[in-house]
Amino acid sequence: MRDDHHYLDETGLLEALLRIPSYSGQEAAAARFLVEQMRSFGWEAFVDAAGNAVGLVGATGPLVALLGHIDTVSGVIPVRIEAGKLYGRGAVDAKGPFVAFIAATRRAELAGRLRCRVALIGATEEEAATSRGAHYARDRYAPAFCVIGEPSGWDRVTLGYKGRLLAHYRLEQPAAHSAGELPAAPEAMVAFWRAVEAHCAAYNAGRERLFDQLTPSLRRVASGGDGLSDWVEATVGLRLPEGVDPATLAEMLSTLAGGATLRFEGACPAFRSPRTTPLASAFVRAIRAQGGQPAFLHKTGTADMNVVGPAWGCPIVAYGPGDSRLDHTPDEHLDLAEYQRAIAVLTEVLGGLS
């Protein structure tokens, strides 16, 4: 058991970070705060060229990348602790998991159990389509193991994420009378959206697991005109299963769009890591040591695992405290008892990687 002083330090660090807004592209203050905290432990720490908060710990052993993200979606949630739960934007997605990385690394170091080198990377712009921080880190590290900081629940480990493609649709055409034969620009967009839905439905036939399905979402629609021309804009998001190539899908969507223009963003394929790696096994043992029954997850969203996993080719999982169903919601909060158990699991994992 840890004493109350350490419990308050670990909770206080996360609470202080939650009080610093860090929407995607605006992470500088949060990064500086984290660097200051990591330097206070005697670690080498700095803000890199992508704005990531980086801490380097340990002198020998394999390199373990603990890659989380410190940006959040928008929305202000008053930071507070109620009934053992810490509320705030980013508590679950994903400041909580990253601060758990820091706390576990510090615990392992103080216990003399850290026999690996650790690169703690608090990445920028994960919630944006750019994943700027992860792309920068991908080209500058070659870890032997990697843990992505995302909420899985303290007793579960994520092995894979679906891919992603964003399509920004725009159509502008001469204005037409509503009683005429020419479809209005918004009607043309609706026809495109229905064609996308039909394509996905045809692909998904016989595929029961959501992880195996091609899933569309209509993210944004806007339209207008000036009396001479009408226009419509929309953003369509697609979550890609394994085997669907973003570039091939983009070509098909361009065909469906007809005379409209499409601009694509955030393309990345699905990624899945095997459950038989030494890293996955280390998490299974650590979760069992804390009294849990470990389970593996495959998520229907996309994460920085999709960016670094194929490039690094090392054993990789995603792990962190929190219920991912609270991501991006006005009720986002982290159970502090779960936070502590996750730190204990991570400490055990780091102590076993040598």
pLDDT by residue for the chain (354 residues), tens only, comes to 344 334 449 999 999 999 999 999 999 999 999 999 999 999 999 999 999 999 999 989 999 999 999 999 999 999 999 999 999 999 999 999 999 999 999 999 999 999 999 999 999 999 998 999 999 999 999 999 999 999 999 999 999 999 999 999 999 999 876 656 678 899 999 999 999 999 999 999 999 999 999 999 999 999 998 889 999 999 999 999 999 999 999 999 999 999 899 999 999 999 999 999 999 999 999 999 999 999 999 999 999 999 999 999 999 999 999 999 999 999 999 999 999 999 999 999 999 998
Determine the pLDDT at residue 6: 43
Predicted local distance difference test score (pLDDT) of residue 182: 77
Could you give the angle at the alpha carbon of 338 between the alpha carbons of 300 and 290, nearest 5°?
100
State the pLDDT at residue 354. Answer: 84
Task: Please give the helix or strand (H or E) that residue 183 lies within, else none.
Answer: none
Helix (H, G, I), strand (E, B) or coil at 64: strand
* Closest residue by Cα to residue 24 from 127, 119, 143: 127
Ordered by where they begin, the domains of the chain are: 4-161+271-352 (3.40.630.10), 163-268 (3.30.70.360)
Residue with tokens 């080209």, as numbered in its chain? 139
DSSP class of residue 322?
S
Rounded (10°) CA dihedral 5, 11, 12, 13: 110
Whole-angstrom distance, CA of residue 286 vs CA of residue 281: 9
Residue 339 C-beta-side C-alpha neighbours within 13 Å: 29
Coil, helix or strand at residue 20: coil
Strands 80-82 and 156-161: unpaired
Residues annotated catalytic, as ranges: 71, 126
Burial of 52: CB neighbours in 10 Å, binned 0-12, 13-18, 19+:
buried
Q: What's the residue count for the chain?
A: 354
